[in-house]
Chains A and B, each alone.
Chain A
Amino acid sequence: MTDIICPLCGKPNPPELDECKYCQAPLNASGFLAPSDQEGQENPFIVSSGDSDQSESQGLKPESTSPLEQAIPDWLKNTEANFLEGTEAKPESQAPDDIAEQIDSLLSQPSTPDNGVQPDIDDDWLASLLAEAGGESSPLSLQEEPLDEKEVPVNADLTGPSVEESNGDEGVLPPAQIEKPDWLTGLEASSKIKVEGEITPSEAFVIGAGVADTVESADTGSMDIPDWIGKIEPEETPSDQEEPGPQIAPAELPGWLEALRPDDSVSATEPVEDLSAADVVTAGPLVGLRGVINAHPSAIRARKPPTYSIKLRVTDEQRARVEMMVALLADEQKPKPLPSQPVLTSRNIFRLVIAAALILPIAWMIITGSQQVPAPQPGEVPGVVDFTQQVQAIPAGSPVLLAFDYEAGFSGEMNLAISTLINQLTIKNNFMTLVTTIPSGPALAESLISPSTSLEGNPGSYSYYTNLGYIPGGTLGLVGLALSPKSVLPYSLDGVNVWQSAPLDTVATINDFSAIIVLTNDPDTARSWVEQVGPVLKEDGTPLLIVTSSQAEPLIRPYYEANPSQVQGMVSSLAGGLAYGRSVGNIQQNGEWDAFSIAITASVLIILIGSISRAVMKLPMSGKKKES
């Protein structure tokens, strides 16, 4: 089955199709038969009656039509026919190059894609065609002459899409060596009439030579040429065609149109009026010309075009809005300052009232030195009696370890008991070894010990003590202190090695002290002393005594009340300090107990009144909420 090569895309299509299935271009008008199908056929343009496919695809008439003739569009045929009727026989002349090229393109292979079918296959049918036409066949050469791109587009409309493909290909060449039949040469000649002035002389020479060859070969052709082709006579030369002949009868124009016709007597190029007296333009683009229409000088004044500012015209209002936007965007990055809270609120007033209710009675009691409230007795406060006894049992002049582990803020509560203790120890001339597990302990200890009065009675003269300072690691160093205090605290704060001189030269472990007295407000610190140092002390029976605050007393008391007790004596809170003072004969107080008593009373009253009043006030409000 023969395939039709699409003239547009060059792809083979089945013969039964009218349009290319790839690009939908019409196949019947200008389709070419696939060259492969033409192999072996001597006369591919002569269709046998039994070959229905060929007849359908090619649409050939069995008696007179040929494939090449089918390639010629009908309008061309008609035009040529009309032309032949109205024209004289023209001598044979060189056909226009463009028409020659059209015909050559008909003879030449249509444009193929890069991977298209090799043109060698087309050579055979063309060769056979030529052989039939002129008895000479020569193989087509694809690249004999490059086609002129200028000429080809002109002929594209005439020859159909088959030529368009050849336009883009530089490889499609007019077969200069092909001998064209006479009919073809005549056809070229007749078609030259329609093309004027579009062929360059050099190309005309080439084409003319080519045409001449074809004309010559046409005479020797034994091809059956139709009659109408034979009537076609060579055209005139291109030079002759440039002059338009009065062959077309002039049309009859209406009167108004006739009036518009320019007067032939006047040359179109000549000026309408006499400009010899006119001024000559001396400036501007029309310099040197005469008769230039006078215009206002400013209209044609040659000047430098004004420069316009490229700055954006911004009004003040717009500028203000821009600045506002910029400020808004900048503020997005900054955290916004929050509104400050009011200073005077009901809460603050209530706080002030409570503070006044507490502070004023206390101050009054202190100022007046009131002693109305009976002071606590030693037996009434647990641990005071044992504490007193243990302290009194310490041998005179023996070293005692004092651990100042309470914060300066608790001085008001604990200093009463501590000062009594220090007084007792100074009376017995005990060597006080001061240690601490908190950073402010050394200063606190020094501030309490240094004003102590010695036996001589001079305040601040007591020097039978040493301040070893802060235990490294705090409570973490208690184990080390218990096992080897010399290694943990080798020097005092003064830089003196106290372990080399009496009385600490006899101290190897913490057991060698006469008593360990821990002064702390923190139950955790007291617990650490009891649990870390206590087991070491238990072996030799060295007493562990604690002076503590009222807040720690509930947690330390079990150690005191345990059996065997781990704490041999304790003094806690202000009551314990007063009781201890009374136990050693120091009954003087400066209104502290009365102040404490009135403070507690005021606190109880404030708590009661405040709780009841707020509860009473809130009850109706909660009732209203429930109702709502």
Chain B
Amino acid sequence: MEQVLSSISNYLGLLFILLCLGLILFYFFSDGNRPKISLRNIQAFRHVRREVDLAVEAGKRLHISLGRGSITDLQGGAAFIGLTILDRSARAASNSDRPPMTTSGDGVLTILSQDTLQSTYRSLGTEQRYDPTNAHMTGLSPLAYAAGAMPTIHDEYVSANFFTGHLGTEIALLTEAGERSRSLTVAGSDSIHAQAVLYVTSDEPLLGEELYAAGAYLGAGPAHLASLRTQDILRWVLIGAIVIGAILKLFRILN
């Protein structure tokens, strides 16, 4: 048993990835024939949609912060989710008097956010509204990034802040700035500490993997719905594997 496990342990990760890929492809191509799945109500995303509309009506700005995670690290996944939210928000608020503004703590994220904004405006035929200064880096260290993002919240007539990415405990400073400027804060991070802080300081926290469901809730495409269903299935697979492993360990089948 252990020899089998050791032999496949090298390729366990690859098998897992292939399983994930297969499930996503399956749900991606078969969702058209299935009844529409009903997603549980996540209030944060409902507020995202509402705040986008309110910002356009009130002539205020949306602030989307992508965090400080580098895409070359583990924190890159949360940063990509932030880019998805940026794309959806920019599409909805493209005709606002004050277009959305994005901040980040990494150079690559800054370029990606500029590219996302530009492609969004191009797809809407309003490329002339694109301003590269609407996406900028505010700092390289966590606290420097937070210190640089706070003036954006105060000075740019922000109506709602979306913090989505890799953010640490410094996010409390940003949510505090949002509260001072009487703007709504919807925040999600892949950091455990940040989630604990967000529960206390944010108006609408995204805990756990709710952040990774942003694409599905904001209508980013059928692939996001397919990956959400894949995550649900794989979660149960992991639960089963943990329980089985614990039982095996309990009965000393596994050392």
Indicate yes or no for A touching B, C-beta below 8 A.
yes
* A524 engages B74 (CB within 8 Å): yes
Counting residue pairs across A and B whose Cβ atoms lie within 8 Å, the total is 45
Which residues from B are CB-within-8-Å of A523? 192-193
Report the Cα distance A408→B180, complex, angstroms: 26
**B77 proximal to A (CB < 8 A):** no
Known: A407-B141, A408-B141, A523-B192. A475 touches B73 (CB 8 A): yes
Measured as residues with beta carbon below 8 angstroms from the partner, the interface class of chain A is: 20 to 34
Contacting pair B141 A438 (CB below 8 A): yes
What mask results when residues 211 to 227 of chain A are scored 1 for a CB within 8 Å of chain B, else 0?
00000000000000000
Cβ contacts B137-156/A at 8 Å (1 or 0 each): 00011110000000000000
List, in ascending order, chain A residues with CB within 8 A of B181's CB: 341
Would you call A310 an interface residue if the criterion is a C-beta within 8 Å of the partner chain's C-beta atoms?
no
Given the contacts A551-B193, A555-B192, A476 and B143 also touching, CB distance less than 8 Å: no
- Chain A 430-446, CB-CB to B under 8 Å as 1, else 0, gives 00000000111000000
Contact of A335 among B75, B97, B140, B169 (CB under 8 A): B97
Q: Which B residues are in CB contact (< 8 Å) with A528?
A: 73-74
Tell me, in angstroms, the Cα distance from A474 to B70 when the chains sit together: 9
Instruction: Tell me whether A338 and B157 are in contact (CB under 8 A).
Output: yes
The verdict on A296 contacting chain B, using a C-beta distance below 8 Å, is no
Residue A336 lies at the interface, judged by CB distance under 8 Å to chain B: yes
| CB-based contact B73/A440 at 8 Å | no
Contacts of B180 in A (CB 8 A): 341
Interface range on chain B (Cβ under 8 Å from partner): 20 to 34
Q: Which residues of B contact A305 (CB under 8 A)?
A: none
Q: State the Cβ distance, A407 to closest chain B Cβ, in Å.
A: 6
A522 within 8 A of B: yes
Bound form: Cα–Cα A474–B166 in Å: 15
Whole-angstrom CA separation of A589 from B75 in the bound complex: 38
When the two chains form their complex, are residues B60 and A338 in contact, meaning their CB atoms are under 8 A apart? yes
Contacts known (A335-B98, A409-B143, A440-B141); A476 close to B72, Cβ less than 8 A: yes
In the complex, what's the smallest C-beta–C-beta distance from A163 to chain B, in angstroms?
68
- Output the least CB separation between B55 and chain A (Å): 12
Q: Contact between B168 and A522 (Cβ–Cβ < 8 Å)?
A: yes
Cα separation A408 to B142 with both chains bound (whole Å): 10
Q: Mark each residue of chain B from 63 to 83: 1 if its CB lies under 8 Å from any CB of chain A, else 0.
A: 000000010111100000000
Taking CB atoms, residues of chain B closer than 8 Å to A440 are: 140-141
* Cα of A438 to Cα of B193 in the assembled complex, Å: 19
Pair B59/A336 contact, Cβ less than 8 Å? yes
Roughly how many angstroms separate A80 CA and B98 CA in the complex, as a whole number? 94
Q: Is B129 an interface residue (CB 8 A)?
A: no
Least CB distance from B180 to A in Å reads: 8
B residues near A555, Cβ cutoff 8 Å: 192
Query: Quick check: is A86 within 8 A (CB to CB) of the other chain?
Result: no
User: A residues near B, CB below 8 A?
Assistant: 335-336, 338, 341, 347, 407-409, 438-440, 473-476, 522-524, 528, 551, 555
- 7 A-B contacts (beta carbon < 8 Å): A335-B59, A341-B181, A407-B142, A473-B72, A474-B70, A522-B168, A524-B73
